[in-house]
């Protein structure tokens, strides 16, 4: 698998939270050669299963979320203008003049309207415009015929290759995690002998409700789970704490709601295989599917692996492909030897 091409393909799939069906079917097709069974459930989750053939073997669930932040049409106005509402954590400061794709029956181009600086009144340049006061301009005189209220909208940014092995795109949160799981499974195809079953959950609606991880994990009810997500990458203008250099490998979560034995085993595996890693201290609820899955049913022992990412929840998120590969390598090495038993 060429990780850069995989990321480009995944990031081109539209999947605003609650509207994941098209992307789910595409990811299911990628999973089928790597799993024994694959299905898309009625919540938009992709569920895969790969048995090890051992009786009473325990199951490890690998999760990454498929959905992305975006918008939904709330009103279609005369002149081709749209009012819209955010879906997920959208920062209004970076929306003006942003290019978007309206996912009507036929995808349509639009741009978030912005006032030229020449026409702004004194002091207006320093104020963020509330989302409910913004408009999307489609230029369509017949917009009311083509666009319905409730239509999802995504950023139009397409993946761009940067220098230094970096890639820039919308929704690398968390298509980078999806790519890491796909790569780990591809590596496992060559490793015939395993001691645990592997379940895969490419989950829906992480950005808004956590519904996908909750229902998907409940359907599988594994003994163990690893959530794969992104974490904040280091930039010159950002904070110095709680951020990670791109190229530093997986950030392994450490905290009260993450299983200590599973976390220690991942650290041991990274050290044994010379995989660079960092420790990310999580004080409580991680804000990821790790927490959502941990409290499902009678409880699931859960760990968290994160990929450093710059500019999270923007159209120009950036990751380094080597970090995605290192997360995949760590999961692969871990699963080769994992026998379903860890210390507390």
pLDDT digit string (tens) for 207-261?
999 999 999 999 999 999 999 999 999 999 888 888 999 999 999 999 988 999 9
Q: Beta 46-50 vs 37-40: how paired, if at all?
A: antiparallel
pLDDT higher than 80, residue 285: no
Active site annotation includes 309: no
Q: How confident is the model at residue 1 (pLDDT cuts 50, 70, 90)?
A: confident
**Active-site residue, from 20, 206, 317, 329:** 206
93: Cβ contacts below 8 Å, ≥ 6 apart: 128
Q: How confident is the model at residue 19 (pLDDT cuts 50, 70, 90)?
A: very high
Q: Give the C-alpha separation, 57 to 200, whole Å.
A: 16
Average pLDDT, the chain: 93
- Tell me if 295 sits within 8 A of 26, measured CB to CB: no
């Amino acid at each position: 698998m060429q990780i850069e091409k995989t990321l480009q393909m995944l990031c081109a799939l539209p999947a605003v939270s609650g509207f994941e069906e098209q992307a789910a079917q595409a990811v299911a097709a990628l999973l089928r050669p790597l799993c024994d069974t694959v299905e898309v459930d009625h919540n938009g989750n992709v569920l895969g299963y790969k048995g090890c053939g051992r009786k009473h073997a325990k199951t490890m669930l690998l999760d990454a979320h498929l959905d992305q932040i975006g918008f939904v049409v709330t009103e279609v106005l005369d002149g081709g203008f749209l009012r819209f509402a955010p879906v997920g954590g959208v920062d209004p400061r970076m929306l003006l003049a942003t290019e978007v794709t309206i996912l009507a029956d036929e995808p349509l181009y639009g741009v978030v309207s912005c006032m030229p600086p020449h026409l702004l009144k004194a002091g207006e340049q320093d104020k963020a415009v509330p989302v409910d006061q913004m408009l999307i301009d489609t230029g369509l005189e017949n917009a009311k015929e083509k666009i319905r209220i409730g239509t999802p909208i995504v950023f139009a940014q397409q993946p761009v290759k940067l220098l230094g092995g970096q890639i820039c795109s919308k929704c690398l949160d968390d298509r980078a995690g999806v790519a890491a799981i796909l790569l780990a499974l591809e590596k496992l195809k060559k490793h015939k002998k395993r001691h645990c079953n592997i379940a895969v959950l490419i989950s829906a609606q992480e950005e808004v409700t956590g519904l996908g991880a909750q229902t998907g994990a409940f359907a599988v009810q594994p003994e163990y789970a690893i959530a794969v997500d992104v974490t904040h990458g280091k930039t010159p203008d950002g904070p110095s704490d709680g951020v990670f250099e791109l190229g530093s490998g997986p950030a392994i979560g450490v905290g009260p709601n993450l299983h200590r034995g599973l976390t220690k085993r991942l650290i041991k595996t990274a050290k044994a295989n010379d995989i660079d890693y960092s420790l990310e201290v999580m004080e409580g609820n991680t804000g990821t599917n790790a927490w959502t899955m941990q409290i499902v049913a009678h409880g699931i022992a859960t760990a968290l692996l994160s990929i450093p990412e710059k500019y999270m929840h923007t159209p120009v998120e950036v990751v380094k492909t080597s970090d995605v590969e290192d997360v995949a390598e760590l999961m692969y090495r871990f699963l080769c030897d994992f026998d379903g038993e860890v210390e507390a």
